[in-house]
Amino acid sequence: MTHFSVLDLVPVREGGTVGEALAAATDLARAAEDAGCKRFWVAEHHAMEGIAGGATSVVLAHIGNATSTIRIGSGGIMLPNHTPFQIAEQFGTLDALFPGRIDLGLGRAPGAGPELQRALRKDLHRAAEMFPQDVVELMALMAGEGEIHPTPGRGASPEFWMLGSSLFGAQLAARLGLPYAFASHFAPDHLDAALAVYRRDFQPSDAFAKPYVMAAMNLFVGETAEQAELLASSQLQAFVALRTGRPGKLPPPREGFRESLPPAAQAMLAHIGQASVIGTADTARQQVAAFIERTGADEIIFGGSTFDPAGRIASLQLAMEALKPLETVA
């Protein structure tokens, strides 16, 4: 059986506010729950005016109160930005508020330049080198080990996940016996190799007796292929802007955007689009099925920011209806 979930960056659109972005994320989480999605994750980003999920645990608390059954979590917390003790307290609080519903996905990349390092008062590159030890320390704190006990946090039982886009995360997830989520929606190059390493080297843990793989895809579904391409054009514009050093808020959709780009930029979008669906519901079913066959993923998590929040909800609803046959495949 394949499960389907949602990843949200809490995008702030041009002309919009952070408050509107948070409200849209809440509406999307409710829609994901109603559509039968397994989990709703929020990603941590900092100092980006177009992304409002920086205080990830706070966002998750709000979304938890607005939903009732869907799992909620981080996709992910960039642990080098924090201390293990802080995250133990934050996610221990979430686990107490929403028992049995919390996921703690952890990533190594600080994603920060010197300005953010100064703002966080951390040597993030050194912190990234300490990532494996910090993961183990965080798990121990929540298990009640050590001389200091976080309250809340001690005895909390979020589901730990390792995130990655390279072999490093796959190797660490395998060694610790954790489920592994691969960021194929924006970094597809090492997908197959990382999953092979993870499955080959997996060591069973108390939480997971066998490997469990989640792979990420971008998803834009419309009544027509043209409608889906227009829906996707906001994220495509944002990605090109980011890669060319001009990040900002999420722009409105633009007809013919892809075709307007020079060949090099079109090639870049095609490359990162290896794990993307842009089309009708039938296209989504076919391409997601092919991706599952390729990866053997136990779960697919769908990203994909849209300028109109209602457009993303409609896209998800169309896709989930079309993907029902895949949920029942053993």
Residue-wise pLDDT tens digits, 72-97? 999 999 999 999 999 999 999 999 99
- Rounded to an integer, what distance in angstroms lies between the CA atom of residue 271 and that of residue 250? 21
pLDDT of residue 328: 59
Given a contact cutoff of 8 angstroms between Cβ atoms, the answer to whether 66 and 98 are in contact is no
pLDDT of residue 165: 94
Beta-carbon-side half-sphere exposure of residue 105 (alpha carbons within 13 Å): 27
pLDDT of residue 252: 98
Given a contact cutoff of 8 angstroms between Cβ atoms, the answer to whether 41 and 103 are in contact is yes
pLDDT of residue 111: 60
Q: Which residues of the chain have pLDDT under 70?
A: 110-113, 328-330
Tokens at 8, concatenated: 């949200």
Given a contact cutoff of 8 angstroms between Cβ atoms, the answer to whether 4 and 299 are in contact is yes
Return the number of other C-beta atoms located less than 10 Å from residue 81's C-beta: 23
In CATH, what number does 3-216+299-327 get?
Answer: 3.20.20.30
Query: Under 8 Å CB-to-CB from 119, ≥6 apart: which residues?
Result: 46, 47
Reduced to 3 states (helix: H, G, I; strand: E, B; else coil), residue 79 is helix
> What residues are paired with 217 via a beta bridge?
302
Q: What is the DSSP letter of 256?
A: T
Beta-carbon-side half-sphere exposure of residue 165 (alpha carbons within 13 Å): 16
User: pTM for the complete prediction?
Assistant: 0.95
- Rounded to an integer, what distance in angstroms lies between the CA atom of residue 112 and that of residue 121? 12
Closest CA to 87 of 37, 48, 138, 163: 138
Query: Under 8 Å CB-to-CB from 142, ≥6 apart: which residues?
Result: 88, 91, 92, 150, 153, 154, 155, 156, 157, 158
| Side chain identity, residue 141 | L
